[in-house]
Structure 1
């Protein structure tokens, strides 16, 4: 057998080590900003994330609504498909009888005439949504599932619905190889059980979203949450916002932070009148920070 001399052994060892190190370095290359943007803008991306959001709804006759949300996204990965779970804890403050937002599908009418018992603040309804998401391709994501609403507020206050509700949920996401992410999310919830003193819930939420990516992690967005309350008269049923915002993604090695700020004006919202005693907000602003973890 031909023996390799000592210098040649050292050279081979060095070359083998260099190749191995290069392979490890290639695997350890962190995602680019563009890849993090795609993940941040796709709610069906199988990455664990922690979104923190604040929304202010203004212009309602009875007062304003402050909503702070903590909404971890917890994916379960399988071969060829995923389960995307999101639990949303909502903390709310409001002084009056307001409808037209997701967290208050029906205003509290404790005195029978839309009257409020004063300012209330605390934990509002809790949402849980779960999607089954098959792997289609790099551009298209689809999610089919259900959403549940738990009445974690006291039924006698105006911070929630006072009902356990549930219904179907669907989401479609399309991402171009260049700059665009377009998505559509739709949910319909019906009340199942809850306080006899609270009204029945039948609410649809349709959420079209447009993202356009700019250099250096910046992007423009429009994330409009259209709401229909089927229990109200047809002329009081819809909340339809128009508006836009701006966001930026920051890469932190194998993790990222997504930040955004938005503003919307409601071209349609429930109007106050003497017969119903409540109204919806006419505008809203919001800001959010999302921490994104895991490999892309």
Structure 2
């Protein structure tokens, strides 16, 4: 007869097996804190927001599918592809709007980044960013094509990663009946990573809409842990977000984020 009490820790040990060393896990956690690390990853980022619309009656769940794929151009340069494809479920974002579910617009960024940091230890990358009108509902996207510049710079020292990512997108084509797009995205980030691959991140995914002159600034604190599930290396993280600033029709108050990242180190 199978002894269930003895079997449970054996199964748990197989499913939640450690990496080759704590240092390996910590190094992967630090790479994840770097948006342009040469590491293939597939983050699935869930965001929960509420109090949307003029009556604060709306709710929105957004699953951002965010594959990151690095390409080696030569011994000196990498090209990092970062894609954000939102899957959205929302309701009552304004009176009479009802509910919508489907894809939002895709944001595709390409960063040309030196393989080695600068003499002062800075890691940087820059390139184009594209807005693709992939939304499956009028209320989930802009119906505009857009492009602009993007850049990121950061420094890693000991357990700390400090830096920022920014882009600006202008609409260049699309439905003439829809509002033009001119918006800046600014994301400062501060991450502390322990020797056991636990990370704590403070960030603000800030957006300024130049057409409406409005800021949206959700400030978040997120905890994450790298571990191994069977043969798959992954990170799971979560934490609260608070909207320090948002337009009258935007989310307000508290929200939350849950992030699951699948890692594919070389």
Same fold (TM over 0.5): yes
Match of 1:225 among 205, 218, 232: 205
1:241 aligns with 2:226: no
- Paired with 2:175 and 2:227, the residues of 1 have a C-alpha distance of 45
1:75 aligns with 2:70: yes
Structure 1 residues 253 and 137 mapped into 2: Cα distance closer, same or farther (>3 Å)? farther
- Paired with 1:140 and 1:293, the residues of 2 have a C-alpha distance of 25
2:128 is matched with: 146
2:244 is matched with: 267
In the TM superposition, residue 285 of structure 1 has moved relative to its aligned partner by: 0.9
3-state SS, counterpart of residue 158 of structure 1? helix
Structure 1 residues 157 and 289 mapped into 2: Cα distance closer, same or farther (>3 Å)? same
1:84 is matched with: 80
- Paired with 2:202 and 2:148, the residues of 1 have a C-alpha distance of 25
Alpha carbons 1:64, 1:281 under 8 Å: kept: no
CA offsets 1:231-286 (integer angstroms, 9 cap, x no match): 11x4xx01123331211112579973122112111121112xxxxxx344333211
- Paired with 1:253 and 1:129, the residues of 2 have a C-alpha distance of 32
3-state SS, counterpart of residue 32 of structure 1? helix
- Paired with 1:183 and 1:59, the residues of 2 have a C-alpha distance of 31
How many residues matched?
240
Larger CA deviation: 115-124 vs 74-83: 115-124
1:257 aligns with 2:234: yes
2:196 is matched with: 216
Larger Rg: 1
List runs of 5+ in structure 1 lacking aligned partners.
1-28, 98-113, 272-277
CA offsets 1:56-92 (integer angstroms, 9 cap, x no match): 1122224011101211111101211100002222111
Alpha carbons 2:30, 2:193 under 8 Å: kept: no
Under a length normalisation based on structure 2, what TM-score does the superposition of the two structures give? 0.83
Once the two structures are superposed, the pairs formed by residues 156-235 of structure 1 within 5 Å of their partners are 157-176=138-157, 178-232=158-212, 234=213
- Paired with 2:228 and 2:39, the residues of 1 have a C-alpha distance of 14
1:18 is matched with: none
- Paired with 1:243 and 1:152, the residues of 2 have a C-alpha distance of 27
2:47 is matched with: 55
Under a length normalisation based on structure 1, what TM-score does the superposition of the two structures give? 0.75
Root-mean-square deviation over aligned CA pairs:
2.2
3-state SS, counterpart of residue 34 of structure 1? helix
1:287 aligns with 2:258: yes
- Paired with 2:142 and 2:185, the residues of 1 have a C-alpha distance of 15
List runs of 5+ in structure 2 lacking aligned partners.
1-19
- Structure number having the greater strand percentage: 2
- Paired with 2:128 and 2:175, the residues of 1 have a C-alpha distance of 22
3-state SS, counterpart of residue 145 of structure 2? strand
1:16 is matched with: none
